[in-house]
A and B are shown apart, each in its own frame.
Chain A
């Protein structure tokens, strides 16, 4: 399965600033996704990062707040813009594909996440 590296692993940010999270995959993947996990909550899909075109955002998420780049098939960034304390969450990158024996449509592998705290 793919190995995903996310940076930063955690950060403390000031209100009103922006932070860019990087996601690097060790193999080329077609599908890359960004999820948000608010404290003690479940995972919510923010957007699908499309290589060579604009990201596809889910309801409730907009490009101005969460701009995404996908310059190639192994890398993506998510920026959290003009942050407020409500943006304090774990942001997770995920890609298609999983462990041998569990592969198939829909199978996702997740990175370790980037824990953001906004003061």
Chain B
């Protein structure tokens, strides 16, 4: 079955710097890759997703890139702000199923 690995497990950046979180997946049939942000005491919230028919997607300060050949995808956050501090999860799935396999999470701390 699918396996998703996520790195780093923790990331500390200065406010205004960029943050990059990387994930790899094992099942070449996966074609949907969402990113979720989980703030303390809350459930995960979808912040951006990408499907395998595109290589990059951007939404304001957040971007996601996908390399299907290498089976890895990354989340890029530019101009980080303290409110970006949270745990971020990547996931992989298929259009034919709602089942998502999640990575282990990255705790991002943005220092003011």
Contacts and interface: CB of A to CB of B under 8 A. Distances in A.
Contacts of B98: 31, 33, 48, 96, 105-106, 108
A48 B44 CA distance: 18
Nearest to A10: B41
A111 B43 CA distance: 5
B102 A43 contact: yes
A106 B32 contact: yes
B103 A106 contact: no
Interface residues of A, number: 26
A92 B43 contact: yes
Contact of B41 (A104, A109, A111, A112): A112
Contacts of A45: 99-100
A107 B89 contact: no
B104 A41 contact: yes
Interface residues of B, number: 24
A102 B103 CA distance: 20
A108 B95 CA distance: 13
Contacts of B45: 110
B46 interface: yes
B48 interface: yes
Nearest to A33: B98
Contacts of A96: 98
Interface string A82-119: 00000000001010101100101111111111000000
Interface of A: 4, 31, 33, 41-45, 48, 58, 92, 94, 96, 98-99, 102, 104-113
Counting from the closest, the 6 A-B pairs by CB-CB distance are: A110-B43, A42-B102, A43-B102, A106-B32, A112-B43, A42-B104
Given A42-B102, A108-B34, 6 more contacts: A4-B43, A42-B104, A104-B51, A105-B32, A110-B44, A113-B43
